[in-house]
């Protein structure tokens, strides 16, 4: 199964600045990241996986949608974006088998090449590229902190209008509480995880 160590090793190989954050509480899914980290939902990303039926006998395939924690994209919006005939949330066992992540803790990195990946356009428009975002790692006790620009480039997700226009600014840019993780070091510098400790 995919975990924080696999992600950490891949990001080291890609020479990408990041941190693996130990969470103060165990989480059961990506939607619990904002509470665990003390951050606004727009800085904590969830990857929703949907099962799609292709056109003209092309068969079933999986699509992922990166959205703010707590949000679930309408299946119809994903269906249109990937050009499928039908789309619906994938079953947990299907997600586990295809991604090797726990179904509710999917990271948008190291996903199968066959999985079409979308990202909510509101996130791309609202988040400055050097802001740090957090995603699950497949584990209940850790999260990945990475610059938004780095995540977008590495995962190759296509921006899509999954919820309509306009992400509320406070949803993403809310002031980060004192003591929360908010910066990652420049390349060649140590990470700065505040009170939490990086893994590895």
195 occurs within a structural domain: no
List the domain range (segments joined by +) for residue 86.
Answer: 4-173
> What total of structural domains would you count in the chain?
1
**What confidence tens digit (pLDDT) does each residue in 134-187 have?**
999 999 999 999 999 999 999 999 999 998 754 443 444 444 443 444 444 433
Whether residue 183 lies inside any domain: the answer is: no
Q: Tens digits of per-residue pLDDT, 12-70? A: 999 999 999 999 999 999 999 999 999 999 999 999 999 999 865 568 999 999 999 99
What is the value of pTM for the model shown? Answer: 0.83
The domain spanning residue 71 has which CATH number? 3.90.960.10
- Determine, yes or no, domain membership for 186: no
- The answer to whether position 99 is within a domain reads yes
Confidence bin at 1 (pLDDT 50/70/90): confident
Is 45 within the bounds of a domain?
yes
Q: Decide if 187 is inside a domain.
A: no
Cα–Cα distance list, 102 to 11, 40, 132, 153, 163 (Å): 20, 23, 23, 23, 25
Please check whether residue 193 lies inside any domain of the structure: no
Asked, for residue 112, whether it belongs to a domain, the answer is yes
Contact, 180 vs 38, CB < 8 A? yes
């Amino acid at each position: 199964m995919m975990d924080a160590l696999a992600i950490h090793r891949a990001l080291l190989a890609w020479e990408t600045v990041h941190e693996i954050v130990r969470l103060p509480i165990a989480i059961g899914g990506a939607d619990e990241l904002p509470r665990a980290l003390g951050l606004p939902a727009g800085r904590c990303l969830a990857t929703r996986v949907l099962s799609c039926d292709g056109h003209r006998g092309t068969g079933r395939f999986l699509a992922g949608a990166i959205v703010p924690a707590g949000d679930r994209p309408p299946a119809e919006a994903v269906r249109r974006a990937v050009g499928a005939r039908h789309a619906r949330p994938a079953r947990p066992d299907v997600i586990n088998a295809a991604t090797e992540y726990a179904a509710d803790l999917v990271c948008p990195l190291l996903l199968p090449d066959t999985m079409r990946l979308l990202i909510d356009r509101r996130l791309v428009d609202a988040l400055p590229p050097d802001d740090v975002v957090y995603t699950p790692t497949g584990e209940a006790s850790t999260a990945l902190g990475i610059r938004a620009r780095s995540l977008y480039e590495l995962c190759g997700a296509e921006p899509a209008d999954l919820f309509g226009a306009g992400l509320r600014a406070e949803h993403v840019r809310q002031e980060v509480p004192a003591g929360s993780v908010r910066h990652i070091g420049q390349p060649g510098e140590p990470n700065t995880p505040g009170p939490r400790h990086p893994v590895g």
